[in-house]
Amino acid sequence: MVKVPGGDLAKYDLSSPLRPELKACHAFLDPGDTLVVPSLDRYGRSLQDLINMVAELRERGIGFTSLHENLDTTTPGGRLVFHVFAALAEFIRELIVIGTNEGLAAARARGRVGGRPTVATEEVIRAARDLLPDPGRSITSIAKLLGVSPGTLYNRIPDLRELRAGARPPPARSPREVAQHERDQSQRHFLYGNYSHPESPVGS
């Protein structure tokens, strides 16, 4: 028995990207039925898609007929055509894989690798290593200055923690040194006011 949901085959656009009608059509079919479509391009979006769906119908005991191509999988000739289609699809997939692998191998031979170009060049890493021992700079500020992420520095500089361990803060001043510094500051302010350069005293 041939079933056409709703009785009007033309209104079912089975090649629609969402294809809710296709799911409804497949659910409507029972074993022993035959699905009839106007043409193969109205049913499948690609050769592989077409082969997969027809194979699924066959597993459920459902035939498939395309009117435009005069293709009927309920006959030996129709099944032979679909076997040829399946072999052709497999052949195309293998050609694509082989071509892709050959292209990647050729690119690697030319010194090119896939993915985004790395930002952390050797020059950036050397600059980071020079800056890491500086106690006045955090890892985040160094990464921002060089245009990379902190994670990049951790990944590209295995001894980063050792370099940071050498970034010791300056020793604390003794009370006598602090007092002397404050006296120097007061004397400078008394002599030169708000001028920051001793070369420019008030009234000169």
The confidence score (pLDDT) of residue 33 equals 92
| Residue 89 within a domain | no
The confidence score (pLDDT) of residue 5 equals 45
Q: Which of 21, 42, 77 is at the close of a domain?
A: 77
The confidence score (pLDDT) of residue 17 equals 54
| Residue 92 within a domain | no
The confidence score (pLDDT) of residue 114 equals 61
Residues 178 and 153 sit within 8 Å (Cβ to Cβ): no
pLDDT of 185 higher than 70: no
Reading the block at residue 185, the tokens are 């500051």
| Residue 117 within a domain | no
- pLDDT band for 202, please (50, 70, 90 cuts): very low
Residues 181 and 173 sit within 8 Å (Cβ to Cβ): yes
| Dist. CA 52–CA 63, nearest whole Å | 14
| Residue 15 within a domain | yes
Mean pLDDT of 90-100: 84
pTM tops 0.85: no
- pLDDT band for 203, please (50, 70, 90 cuts): very low
pLDDT of 19 higher than 80: no
| Residue 109 within a domain | no
CATH of the domain at 26: 3.40.50.1390
pLDDT tens by residue, 126-184: 888 888 888 888 889 888 888 888 888 888 898 888 888 765 555 556 677 767 766 76
Print burial letters for 154-181: b (CB count within 10 Å at least 16), e (below 16): eebbeebeebeeeeeeeeeeeeeeeeee
| pLDDT more than 70, % of the chain | 72
- Is pLDDT larger for residue 47 or for residue 16? 47
- Is pLDDT larger for residue 108 or for residue 202? 108
| Residue 64 within a domain | yes
| Residue 196 within a domain | no
Residues 5 and 12 sit within 8 Å (Cβ to Cβ): yes
Question: Which range of residues forms the domain containing residue 57?
Answer: 9-77
pLDDT tens by residue, 49-67: 888 888 899 899 999 998 8
Stretch among 12-26, 52-66, 68-82, 168-182 having the lowest mean pLDDT? 168-182
Residue 152 sits at φ, ψ, to 5 deg, of -65, -40
- Is pLDDT larger for residue 9 or for residue 26? 26
| Residue 178 within a domain | no
The confidence score (pLDDT) of residue 62 equals 92
Quote the number of domains for the chain.
Answer: 2
